[in-house]
Chains A and B, each alone.
Chain A
């Protein structure tokens, strides 16, 4: 299996990379920080990956995406799967006061992903097989006052993926939307942990499984599915009164 992992230094992506390494996969890792990428490169290689290559780049620079993807394809020969895992947890209060921060957050969490998917969608369509997996979020299922900038970005990614899936199903390409709930990662380091928090190892392993046995939309852990179903079913006139 040849897999491109974008946002490879995120802790969930690292865990997924470990699972693929164990199977002797070939990996191409992309992320912002070269030292971190090299640390992961060594780890997955020792764990059994046949080949591990890496590229450091700022994913907010959209004009770099073409270069990244063509280099990854050229280096590995072809791609069987891609995992897009980069993102930042926006500070809602700062976003409310700053147009530029809001735009930046939307670029990081939404526009960059859409840009990558546009290029990758065409590649996989032409190849006629493969899996595109993207980490969205339960936050994208409904807008809430505590994080609607992040929620908007993830919601847009979820809808984009629905459309892409609809388009690529005919070509035999599967599109996986991963919707994790709370995960104990550096992204959520400053949030008080409770029972709803999952370990990044668990989520990473689930993503590996979902890429191997293609699914459409997966909540991780599973209990977020009924929770979000309930949350989506609340009429807007009542929902607007809730404070969370």
Chain B
């Protein structure tokens, strides 16, 4: 069992009442009671509660993992919604095709990649994943199947890209792959000593490098704020290396949740400092397999267990271009003062390519992604501070990684949420959606006892953790 369908951050805990696997694409949705909602669940890599439906039904798509067709001339792949990015890479890299956009893990489903409109290190060149989705088939709770694209049912299409799985089940999708001649990436690393240097590097690199990203020592003292390492790369144009010769990587597994104390903030601070100083001062170049470049964390299976059973919170926000320098500096200074740090603080400049998604997260500006071990109230207080800083700049927080933002903040970040609410399938809902909209989105006809207080859903989940855990084992 995959950790009882928790999210990747293991926070907040949620317990679906039913888990219904969808195994075949011609299958109908289950006839649930009129009062419970359903939510598609792909590979459970969303960090917070956007992949959870506490007390209701999850539609798992693990078996909906088949390719349907591939056009060798155009590079358009049609595949079922549960297909993982890893399946596509394994099958198509040897044939000279690559994902148009990839997030930092290949263990996400196509449905999840679309529903969260994921982005990657090439956002400045290629936009989001949703920019490369040609068509999507949605299965609605009425039994209707709607094929939507930028030209047909375009509003529903735009609501589905980044629509958090609320517009219906993504049964299959057409994805535009991109041609490559080598499985290798030419990578460069450059150490930078502060934020201004990062922004300069980023501006210089964004035209000539397809992939750019930075790592930041988020606990560095005041005078070193924003120091880190800039990483940039391009697909290797030299096709001397055969596409089919892809070195196998060994993977390690974290077999169980470590004690939460292991990730004490002191440990994180030392890790960050050592990691920074281990980086060579000069620019270094290397030619490495694509997996090592894009998915360094995928070599440690279940790395989320390093954070213990209490889990962790991911935080990713974007600050619009106008305020990016001050905005990022302010965020880092609040984090530094709180002394709650992150192993992996990632910074990246987004480009101007607009996604078709109504609820899409990226916008022109700079994004910062961090993970915080969950230490209870102090962690939540820190996130609240960060949320309001982001809101002041007109930025946004990434729903796929969120487990905390208030409904006021969410609605300020994403004014288009009303449209999603209108186009949402009335039977589809999630813990996240109930939390940030404060709407009781259980389907109509619900009785009083079933319409539980949504604001307290998270707390309830906590309080009843052990009880539910036992019940759900059955």
Contacts and interface: CB of A to CB of B under 8 A. Distances in A.
Most buried by A among B68, B77, B474: B68
A42 B68 contact: yes
A13 to B, nearest CB: 13
A40 B23 CA distance: 12
Contact of A47 (B1, B21, B25, B91): B91
Contacts of A46: 67-70, 77, 79, 91
Contacts of B79: 46
Contact of A193 (B1, B63, B68, B77): B1
B329 interface: no
Contacts of A11: 63
B474 A35 contact: no
Nearest to A22: B91
A15 to B, nearest CB: 10
A43 interface: yes
Contact of B66 (A35, A43, A48, A189): A43
Interface in B50-76: 63, 66-70
Interface residues on B, range: 10 to 19
A192 B68 contact: no
A186 interface: yes
A39 B21 contact: no
A36 interface: yes
A194 to B, nearest CB: 9
A42 B26 contact: no
Interface string A39-68: 110110011100000000000000000000
A36 B26 CA distance: 8
A22 B91 CA distance: 8
A36 B474 CA distance: 30
Interface residues on A, range: 10 to 19
A46 B66 CA distance: 9
A127 B67 CA distance: 35
B175 to A, nearest CB: 13
A54 to B, nearest CB: 14
Given A192-B474, A193-B1, A47 B23 contact: no
Interface string B446-470: 0000000000000000000000000
Contacts of A43: 66-68
Contacts of A42: 66-69
B271 interface: no
A39 B66 contact: yes
14 contacts: A11-B63, A35-B26, A39-B26, A39-B68, A42-B68, A46-B69, A46-B70, A46-B79, A186-B21, A186-B23, A186-B63, A192-B473, A192-B474, A193-B1
Given A43-B67, A48-B91, 13 more contacts: A11-B63, A39-B26, A40-B66, A42-B68, A42-B69, A43-B66, A46-B69, A46-B91, A186-B21, A186-B23, A186-B63, A192-B473, A193-B1
